[in-house]
Amino acid sequence: MAFQSRARTPREFSRRREKPKQRARAERREENSDYEYGERQAPNSKDIIERTFNSLYHLGSQRFAIPPYHEHFDRWLLNLRSVLSEFESSVPAGVDDSFTQDSARILSDIESALQERRLKEVSREEAIRVLGQKLSEARSLLAQVEREHATKAKELSGERDRAVKPALTRIGKLRGELNHIVRMRAGFLRGISKKTKVQKTAETTQRLDLTKKELANIEKSYATEHEKLEAEHESKRRQLLQQIEGYQKEIESLELGSEVNDALEPRQLACDALITAIDSLLQRNKSDSLTADPSQRSARGFG
């Protein structure tokens, strides 16, 4: 059998030819990466200033949407100090005493302003907490008053029913007895004379009237007790409802108070003041550079 050489497939040939290209691309990526890393490690003064200004603009416009706002202040101040420290350590010409004094004053002022806002907000939160506790206690007391009133009203109703029951029973018997007497036929041969019937009718009627008066007195007594109970309950209830309404209004007033916010204005003013201080520093450094290098000054004059 004749030996036949195996031909290379286009796929294998293409894969072998791609390896040097892939290696070259990888080397270029590494070189570019090293170059970019070097650029990040050594930014120029323009990049430093631009990054600092952008950070200050961002911090000056940052909002804190959810209270308590004072919990964000320390983090914000830390970020502000970090931006300022990075600028001071990175600016090529360095910072002078004037800038150090200006930045220290600005930081001190914003710290004082935020501390004042923090104290106000903490004080407001404590006031709201105390009022909320009083509101909860007043509501609990109102519920207790309602329960006690319902219990007392039920007990009083039970006592009334037990008190009037004997009188109602006697009234029922007397009415039955009176009806029986009225239906009796009086006469010589009827077993009861007319006189006796009249007498029995009068006696039974009198006893019925007395029992009715007794029942009326009992019902009146318990009606008075019930009115007294309702008056006491209504007085306590009205007083507690007034307290609850007062606490609710105070809490609402504190929650809607305009004095407590995220301190955007003083924070924005502080960042603007730092930007102005940096601008002034750059102008001084530029002027000092021209004074120290006469060739640049003469070149500028010639230009």
Please name the amino acid found at residue 157. Answer: S
Q: If pLDDT is split at 50, 70 and 90, which confidence band does 246 have?
A: very high
Query: Which element (helix H / strand E) includes 233?
Result: helix 194-255
pLDDT for the residue 112 = 97
Ranges of H-type helices in the chain: 10-41, 45-61, 70-90, 97-183, 194-255, 264-292, 294-302
Grouping H, G, I as helix, E, B as strand and the rest as coil, residue 5 is coil
pLDDT (0 to 100) of residue 198: 84
Query: Where residue 190 falls among pLDDT bands split at 50, 70, 90?
Result: low
In the predicted structure, residue 25 carries a pLDDT above the cut 70: no
pLDDT score, position 12: 45
Work out the angle between the directed axes of helices 97-183 and 194-255 (0-180°, nearest 10). 170
185 pLDDT band (50/70/90 cuts)? confident
Q: Report the C-alpha gap between 15 and 94 in whole angstroms.
A: 56
Assess whether the previous peptide bond of 68 is cis (omega < 30° from 0): yes
- 3-state class of 267 per DSSP? helix
Q: What is the pLDDT of residue 194?
A: 78
- Measuring CA to CA, which residue among 257, 285, 222 is closest to residue 91? 285
Which pLDDT band holds residue 5 (cuts at 50, 70, 90)? very low
Indicate the burial class of 284 (C-beta count within 10 angstroms; 0-12, 13-18, 19 or more): middle
Structure tokens at 191: 């077993």
pLDDT digits (tens, 9 = 90+) for 116-144: 999 988 999 999 999 999 999 999 999 99
- The domain locations on the chain are 47-86+96-282
Is the whole-model pTM more than 0.75?
no
